[in-house]
Amino acid sequence: MTITRPITILDVARAARVSYSTVSRVVNNKDNIVPEKRARVLEAIERLGYVPNMQARKLAGGRAQVVGLVVHDLWSSYQVQILRGIDEEIAAAEYDLMLYTSHGRAATESVHVATLTQGLAEGLLLLLPRGLSAYIDELTKRQFPYVLIDHQGVPGSAPAVSATNRSGAYAATRHLLDLGHQRIGFITGKLEVDAARERLDGYRAALTDHGSRVDPELIVKGDFLRPRALEAAHQLLELPDRPSAVFASNDVSALAVLEVARECNLRVPDDMSLVGFDDIPEAAHVHPALTTVRQPLEDMGRVAARALLSIMREPNRPPERVELPTELIVRGSTCART
């Protein structure tokens, strides 16, 4: 049982009876090479099954065709859908993806960023809810290509893609108002996250524009996660003057509200309307199906990836911020106030 030694560029050179660097040139589509030699090299590569060694290539100053993705975690469909979009684009461009999850440990996170930027990666996609200003500066200074996803928090002008959180929340609130609801409960997201604040803003703005009062009692703090949302739902539904509708800052929270409503023997939408945000796959499947604001998550990933690739191609293009439109999806969880 022979241990197959990895084929190097040297093996190819020998087999094709050309020099070392000629092979390199062929592999990298450089210069003009005598067609006959190029053919020999190509044949040898094919026959030997040569695959270039990325590390060596990158180390020597070449391109590794690798893009890094640092993501907080993979827990919800939210991240995963974005990941899908990224993956598609990156693969289509024949780049490879290094995936790093930080699990919220800031230390880990910056090590990851460093590893990636000083390592294989030629570009960076950052899907982190907050607090990345530390390395953004560094990246900008080093002119290292990167794109932020769903994060507008950096003051300067960092390339970023996100969704129209504010207007999405505005539309959802407006929808409820149009249905005749007056007391509309709101469960916030994690307010350190920009998107969460924007959604709150949208909610407030819709009320104000409609001439309704923003009742602080109806705004309950959440964090985008289920446990906190369950508490928030209880708090809202046990109010003496119970709201006739609830707008949760994401679907995961809205699903929690749905559960609590069921516990309280409240029928949705008859006794209470409910709106979520995100349109995760579950939203369409629960009963009643959730009215929600769709974020084009996969597209966000796709657009971010494409933006990164073009920044990598032309390092000097001015940073762009893209906001993809959200869309109100009306389903069965909302109806006119009776």
Partner DNA sequence: ATGAAAGCGCTAACAC
Partner DNA sequence: GTGTTAGCGCTTTCAT
By CB under 8 A, name the binding residues for a copy of itself.
1-4, 6-7, 49, 51, 53-56, 58-59, 64, 74-75, 77, 80, 83-84, 87, 91, 96-101, 103, 111-112, 114-115, 117-120, 138, 141-143, 255, 281-282, 285-287
Q: Which of 2, 3, 4, 61 binds DNA (CB under 7 A)?
A: 61
| By the rule CB under 7 A, 30 interacts with DNA | yes
Contact 314, 129 (CB under 8 A): no
Give the whole-angstrom CA distance, residue 33 versus residue 30: 8
Q: Of DNA, a copy of itself, none, which one does residue 255 interact with (CB within 5 to 8 Å by kind)?
A: a copy of itself
Instruction: Supply φ then ψ for residue 323, to 5 degrees.
Output: -115, 115
| By the rule CB under 7 A, 6 interacts with DNA | yes
Judged by beta carbon, residue 206 or residue 254, the one nearer a copy of itself is 254
Give the whole-angstrom CA distance, residue 333 versus residue 289: 6
Q: Of a copy of itself, DNA, none, which one does residue 74 interact with (CB within 5 to 8 Å by kind)?
A: a copy of itself
Residue with tokens 């929600």: 292
Give the whole-angstrom CA distance, residue 333 versus residue 172: 12
| By the rule CB under 7 A, 121 interacts with DNA | no
| By the rule CB under 7 A, 65 interacts with DNA | no
Tokens of 68: 């890094």
Q: For 17-52, what is the HEC assignment? A: CCCHHHHHHHHCCCCCCCHHHHHHHHHHHHHHCCCC
Q: Which amino acid is at 114?
A: A
**Residue 256: CB minimum distance to DNA, A:** 47
Scan residues 34-53 and list those touching DNA (CB under 7 A): 34, 37-38, 50, 52-53
Q: Which of 322, 309, 314 is nearest to 123 (CA)?
A: 309
Q: Of DNA, a copy of itself, none, which one does residue 84 interact with (CB within 5 to 8 Å by kind)?
A: a copy of itself
Q: Round the CA-based radius of gyration of the chain to a whole number and report it.
A: 26
Q: Of DNA, a copy of itself, none, which one does residue 61 interact with (CB within 5 to 8 Å by kind)?
A: DNA
Tokens of 105: 């440990």
| By the rule CB under 7 A, 321 interacts with DNA | no
Give the whole-angstrom CA distance, residue 284 versus residue 279: 8
Give the whole-angstrom CA distance, residue 202 versus residue 196: 10
Q: Which residues bind DNA (CB under 7 A)?
A: 6, 8-10, 18-22, 24-25, 27-28, 30-34, 37-38, 50, 52-53, 56-57, 59-62
